[in-house]
Amino acid sequence: MWTFGFGLVRLTRQLKCGRILNDTNSQQQERTTDHGTLLLTLPGMSKYKLFLLRHGEGAWNIENRFCSWVDQKLSEDGVKEARGCGRLLKERGYRFDRVFTSLLSRSIHTAWLVLEAMGQEWVPVVKSWRLNERHYGALIGLNRAEMALNHGEAQVKVWRRSYDVTPPPIDESHPYFLEIYNDRRYSTCDVPKEDLPRSESLKEVLDRLLPYWENVVVPEIKKGETVLISAHGNSCRALLKHIEGISDADIAGVTLPTGIPILLELDEELRPVKPRQLLGDQEKIQAAIKKVEDQGKAKRTGK
């Protein structure tokens, strides 16, 4: 599937007269870079760069608890991860025009730390609940390893990674219900508080995320903006599923580590022209992915 688009060559011509000559292909498109270089983009060629980022490690990532809509802050290592991510992006010369985050502090702080490390603090940061982490319903606050002991690792994997299984909903007796729904930030949403989710499958995350992607994010990308989406493990997985056309079955095999930027190169229709790139030391990235996967292994916590 991938090999098709990969070999295509970006045609870059810098012309003294400022015009592209011999433009006989009606599907070719011109655009001008900051340096005045005219780029010809053919279908299947990389036209846009989009960056997705799961925030740096949060306090409940360490405790191995389903965090979801609970507003846990970044851990010390999470702050380091976010700064490291910003340094890496700066070293590679990337520049953002706009950053989108969820309403959760860990994604917002990550965005701030990345922009600070890049010296791009002025870049607008736009926030929406539609980029929030998946709502884990009644599972919020529970320890994954203990859940695996009680319900089996296979069931925990279904809850964590299946596409269309919705965990039991949160209700008012849940210890974090009031903390979540009494929070002022959820009075600012584009839906009434009563209509906010009480639990979500990955499919339901995609359902609430897609209108925001289509109506708010895509127009900025198509204007030529380089966008960073600083969000969460599952909101990024949902978006990846949509952009890359990953099947309902295969999305179960996609796990994202914290603090690692994912670069997507997209054509003019926002279709990927090459596999996603997780930027950084590949050995460390694989170890970080395994660590997230292993969170679902049965283990006594001693509490």
Ligand X SMILES: O=C(OP(=O)(O)O)[C@H](O)COP(=O)(O)O
Active site residues: 55, 133
CA 147/CA 167 separation, integer angstroms: 13
CB of 101 to ligand X, least distance (A): 12
Count Cα neighbours of 220 within 13 Å in the Cβ-side half-sphere.
20
CA 189/CA 208 separation, integer angstroms: 12
Nearer to ligand X (CB atom), residue 47 or residue 160: 160
Nearer to ligand X (CB atom), residue 127 or residue 160: 160
- Asked whether residue 55 is marked as a ligand-binding residue, the answer is yes
CB of 75 to ligand X, least distance (A): 11
- Asked whether residue 134 is marked as a ligand-binding residue, the answer is yes
CA 185/CA 88 separation, integer angstroms: 32
- Asked whether residue 78 is marked as a ligand-binding residue, the answer is no
CB of 56 to ligand X, least distance (A): 9
User: What SS3 class is residue 151?
Assistant: helix
CA 229/CA 179 separation, integer angstroms: 26
- Asked whether residue 95 is marked as a ligand-binding residue, the answer is no
Nearer to ligand X (CB atom), residue 109 or residue 232: 232
CB of 23 to ligand X, least distance (A): 45
| Nearest Cα residue to 71 out of 165, 182, 166 | 182
Nearer to ligand X (CB atom), residue 127 or residue 144: 144
Q: Which positions lie near ligand X, rule CB under 6 A? A: 54, 58, 61, 66-68, 133, 136, 144, 160, 232-234, 292
- Asked whether residue 59 is marked as a ligand-binding residue, the answer is yes
H helix count then E strand count, the chain: 11, 9
Cα dihedral value 281, 286, 288, 292, nearest 10: 160
234 touches 107 (CB < 8 A): no
Binding positions are 54-61, 106, 133-136, 160-161, 233-234
Binding positions for substrate are 54-61, 106, 133-136, 160-161, 233-234
